């Protein structure tokens, strides 16, 4: 903050420097004006030349004088500190209308928050990793060696790495085929075909699954222009329900430091729909309730039950 | 070449290549419902409608399936003449289906009927043998239910119920589920499971490639045709 | 509302008695390019469609009378498209006032089980050939320029040899029975193709 105050003191020098710049500009303009006008009408040629040269010299000297003045003033102004902790956004504090738009204080607050959040999230995730509450945590030992490969900013993984993870998962489940495409930039879109039961479209951001939509095996997954249709929902109520549950599952399976484990867990869960029409509800023992088969799959046991039976 | 792309080709569907057909039709099953003792065909149909409506099924218009029989003319060297069936289904209004019992079947556009007229010196239409089933079409969740009255030469001969579970492409997978659904509205009215599927569940449903909606209707219709000769039948 | 042109009218429904009006001719391979060029100029402004079809001609022999003939055609370029089954009636050539051969015509699009099915109906394949060429359209007129190939080994469409050193040119219109005015249009169009090709009404019976 001390730096900022210093700059504030020299405001006087700033205004002087600005007027010095104006003076310099007008003297330079005068030089070119006189050059443009050329020699003035005098009786003798000699007189004309003499007059012109002296005028030119005079103008140049004025330019020189103004330039020196500007240099002197610029030393007084001093330079703003380059090692400001907030870089250019620190300059927001120079805004004189600070009282009306308290941007700078809000910015500082936000930085403080995000630092705290990062710190607490780190603590929490290391604590949670010690508890093996989830299936996915069991695989921690195996993936611990690979962990250094995964950068802390899992949002910016190289596409090659994503390809590897997906193809490894694809090999794990023979009854599942996964087609990976990148229609827009680096984000992948997966088309998962599960047996002859369903097709799921997963929209990825790096290795995070952003959105999922499930449709029947015989439904169209491509729109008329041949692109993957990631928006329209299934015509069948049963797959609309499964889509809802899959979205819930996306929120459930979260492990920020090992996104590949999350994708694998989700796929394991999704695969349990292979017997969607063949398994009766594990709670009520029936196939149908309100015309729908058991669409819910427990996140831990993968047990099938009706949406209304699971509570 | 003609334009058949917009019509669902249902014929010869094989479970290992279901992507070849782009029809929305999933697993279907038809059964012939015996008319309850002391009730007319119409009364039984009304009863079924009421039961479906109690399940909160929504009525969606009507449907029909018909079947014409053609006899092959010419020397048959002692064998009974070959029968060719040409069927229409309101679900596929622009197509028709021609088949031989247990033999190959062909899906074609409606001009096939015109062709059969041209072929009349070789294949004679047995007009009296035209069987059709007409009735209401209900939707309940992903199920389609069609309750039809089977008529032959303008007399009602029975009731057909077609149940279709649209999301599933492999019939064997959803059979138990469909059975449960059918029991929910046929259960009390029909005390014993219709003989069509208690008698031969494997034959009908396991080889999914041969059992297709229309062949099931054909089987049902042949059965109705044969009933004709049984005197004192309960069906009116 | 104006009646739609014949080409967009649905031919399904199966009740309309459709007639094919036909003029035929042939062009030597050397002159083929100039004919195609002429047609491109004369016909509707569209990319000329090329095709490669395999046609099988089936016969059903009854006790008496002529055998019943059906043509089954499939595209070799687009294997997934439906098969095309065609019935052509006896040609009427006698009427001098008509400028084209007229015959009854039924087109049916069918599934791929057609050969099997025709066999079951006691049809037997008589001969087969491969036709490759181009289709042009002008309103309801259809011009097909095709080269015919003999199939050397039955069923093998890879192994073929050209039937002749010329291409077949057919000008046809499909219209409901009784619309004889189309034959006038056909004659006018055929005049424009002279002297590259002479399209005539040819009685197939005379060549049998």
Verify whether the Cβ–Cβ distance C121 to B123 is below 8 Å: yes
Gap between the Cα atoms of A246 and A180, Å rounded: 19
Residues in chain B closer than 8 A to C81 (CB atoms): 1, 5
Verify whether the Cβ–Cβ distance A217 to B140 is below 8 Å: no
Give Rg (Cα) of chain B. 18
Q: Which domains does chain C have, with CATH numbers?
A: 18-193 (2.40.320.10)
Output the CA torsion sign for B224, B225, B230, B235.
positive
Question: Considering CB atoms only, which of B75, B114, B121 is closest to C14?
Answer: B114
Among residues C168, C178, C177, C176, the alpha carbon closest in space to that of C200 is found at: C168
Model confidence pLDDT, tens digit, residues C43-60: 887 777 899 999 999 998
Please check whether residue C13 touches B, CB under 8 A: yes
pLDDT band at B214; cut points 50, 70, 90:
confident
Gap between the Cα atoms of A149 and B175, Å rounded: 48
Output the CA torsion sign for A143, A145, A149, A151.
positive
The answer to whether the CB of C171 falls within 8 A of the CB of C23 is yes
Higher pLDDT, C64 or C85: C85
Output the CA torsion sign for C124, C129, C135, C138.
negative
Verify whether the Cβ–Cβ distance C111 to B106 is below 8 Å: yes
- C128, two tokens: 């087969």
In the B/C pair of chains, how many CB contacts fall below 8 A?
98
Helix axes A11-37, A45-77, angle to 10 degrees: 160
Q: What residue ranges do the domains of chain B occupy?
A: 4-66+130-225
Among residues C24, C63, C6, the alpha carbon closest in space to that of C144 is found at: C24
Question: Considering CB atoms only, which of B98, B114, B121 is closest to C117?
Answer: B98
Average pLDDT, rounded, for chain A: 82
Judge A/C contact: 3 or more CB pairs < 8 A.
Answer: no
- A208, two tokens: 């995070």
Q: What's the pLDDT at B34?
A: 58
This complex has an ipTM of 0.82
Gap between the Cα atoms of B176 and A277, Å rounded: 8
Q: What's the pLDDT at A144?
A: 45
pLDDT band at A273; cut points 50, 70, 90:
very high
**A194-198, B7-11, C28-32, C132-136: least confident range:** B7-11
Q: How far B44 CA lies from chain A's nearest CA (Å)?
A: 23
Mean predicted confidence (pLDDT) in A122-148: 59
Percent of chain B with pLDDT over 90: 11
Gap between the Cα atoms of C106 and C20, Å rounded: 9
Gap between the Cα atoms of A113 and C154, Å rounded: 81
The answer to whether the CB of A290 falls within 8 A of the CB of B181 is no
Start-end of H helices in chain C = 29-42, 114-120, 182-193
Gap between the Cα atoms of A163 and A165, Å rounded: 6
Gap between the Cα atoms of C186 and A131, Å rounded: 86
Gap between the Cα atoms of B113 and C111, Å rounded: 15
pLDDT of residue A91 exceeding 80:
no
Gap between the Cα atoms of B172 and B170, Å rounded: 6
Q: How far A277 CA lies from chain B's nearest CA (Å)?
A: 5
Give the contacts of A202 (CB within 8 A, at least 6 positions apart): A189, A190, A192, A209, A211, A212
Model confidence pLDDT, tens digit, residues B108-126: 888 898 899 888 888 888 8
Give Rg (Cα) of chain A. 36
Residues in chain B closer than 8 A to C68 (CB atoms): 119, 121-122
Model confidence pLDDT, tens digit, residues C163-204: 999 999 999 999 887 787 888 889 999 999 888 888 888 877
The answer to whether the CB of C141 falls within 8 A of the CB of C185 is yes
**B94-103, B222-231, C35-44, C65-74: least confident range:** B222-231
The chains in contact with chain B, meaning 3 or more Cβ pairs closer than 8 Å, are: A, C
């Amino acid at each position: 903050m001390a730096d900022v105050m210093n700059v504030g003191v020299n405001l006087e020098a700033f205004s002087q420097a600005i007027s010095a710049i104006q003076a310099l500009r007008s003297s330079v303009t005068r030089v070119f004006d006189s050059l443009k006008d050329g020699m003035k009408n005098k009786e003798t040629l000699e007189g004309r030349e003499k007059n012109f040269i002296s005028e030119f010299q005079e103008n140049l000297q004025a330019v020189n004088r103004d330039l020196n003045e500007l240099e002197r003033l610029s030393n007084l102004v001093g330079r703003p500190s380059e090692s400001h902790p907030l870089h250019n956004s620190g300059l927001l504090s120079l805004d004189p209308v600070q009282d009306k738009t308290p941007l700078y204080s809000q910015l500082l607050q936000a930085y403080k928050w995000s630092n705290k959040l990062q710190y607490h999230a780190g603590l929490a995730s290391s604590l949670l990793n010690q508890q093996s509450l989830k299936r996915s945590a069991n695989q921690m030992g195996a993936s611990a060696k690979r962990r250094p490969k995964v950068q802390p900013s899992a949002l910016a993984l190289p596409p090659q790495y994503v390809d590897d993870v997906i193809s490894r998962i694809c090999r794990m489940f023979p009854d599942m085929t996964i087609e990976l495409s990148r229609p827009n930039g680096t984000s992948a879109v997966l088309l998962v075909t599960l047996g002859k039961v369903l097709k799921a479209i997963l929209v990825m951001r790096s290795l995070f699954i952003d959105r999922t939509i499930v449709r029947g095996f015989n439904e169209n997954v491509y729109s008329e222009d041949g692109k993957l249709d990631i928006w329209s929902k299934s015509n069948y109520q049963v797959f609309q329900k499964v889509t809802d549950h899959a979205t819930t599952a996306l929120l459930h399976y979260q492990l920020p430091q090992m996104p590949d484990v999350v994708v694998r867990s989700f796929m394991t869960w999704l695969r349990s729909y292979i017997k969607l029409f063949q398994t009766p509800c594990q709670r009520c023992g029936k196939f149908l309730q309100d015309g729908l088969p058991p669409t819910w799959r427990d996140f831990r046991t993968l047990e099938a039950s009706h949406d209304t039976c699971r509570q | 070449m003609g334009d058949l792309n917009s019509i669902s080709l249902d014929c010869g569907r094989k479970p290992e290549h279901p992507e070849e057909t782009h029809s929305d039709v999933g697993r279907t099953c038809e059964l012939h419902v015996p008319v309850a003792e002391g009730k007319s065909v119409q009364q039984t149909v009304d009863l079924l409608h009421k039961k479906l409506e109690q399940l909160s099924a929504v009525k969606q218009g009507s449907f029909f399936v018909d079947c014409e029989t053609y006899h092959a003319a010419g020397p048959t060297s002692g064998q009974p003449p070959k029968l060719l069936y040409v069927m229409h289904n309101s679900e596929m209004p622009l197509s028709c289906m021609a088949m031989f019992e247990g033999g190959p079947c062909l899906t074609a556009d409606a001009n096939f009927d015109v062709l059969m007229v041209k072929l009349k010196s070789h294949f004679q239409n047995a007009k009296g043998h035209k069987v059709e089933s007409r009735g209401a079409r209900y939707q309940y969740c992903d199920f389609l239910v069609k309750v039809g009255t089977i008529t032959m030469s303008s007399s009602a001969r029975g009731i057909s119920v077609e149940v279709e579970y649209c999301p599933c492409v492999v019939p064997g997978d959803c059979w138990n589920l469909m059975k449960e659904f059918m029991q929910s509205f046929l259960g009390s009215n029909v005390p014993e499971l219709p003989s069509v599927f208690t008698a031969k569940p494997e034959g009908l449903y396991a080889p999914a490639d041969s059992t297709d909606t229309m062949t099931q209707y054909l089987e049902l219709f042949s059965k109705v045709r044969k009933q004709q000769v049984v005197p004192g039948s309960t069906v009116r | 509302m104006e009646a739609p042109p014949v080409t967009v009218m649905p031919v399904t429904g199966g009740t309309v008695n459709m007639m094919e009006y036909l003029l035929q001719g042939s062009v030597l391979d050397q002159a083929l390019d100039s004919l195609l060029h002429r047609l491109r100029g004369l016909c509707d402004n569209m990319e000329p469609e090329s095709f490669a079809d395999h046609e099988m001609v089936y016969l059903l022999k009854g006790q008496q009378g002529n055998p019943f003939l059906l043509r089954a055609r499939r595209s070799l370029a687009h294997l997934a498209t439906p098969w095309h089954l065609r019935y052509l009636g006896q040609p009427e050539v006698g009427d001098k006032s008509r400028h084209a051969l007229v015959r009854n015509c039924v087109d049916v699009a069918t599934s791929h089980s057609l050969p099997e099915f025709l066999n079951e109906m006691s049809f037997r394949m008589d001969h087969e050939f491969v036709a490759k060429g181009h289709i042009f359209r002008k309103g309801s007129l259809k011009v097909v320029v095709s080269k015919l190939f003999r199939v050397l080994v039955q069923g093998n469409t890879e192994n073929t040899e050209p039937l002749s050193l010329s291409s077949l040119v057919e000008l046809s219109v499909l219209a409901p029975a009784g619309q004889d005015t189309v034959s006038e249009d056909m004659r006018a169009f055929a005049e424009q193709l002279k002297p590259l090709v002479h399209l005539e009404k040819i009685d197939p019976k005379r060549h049998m």
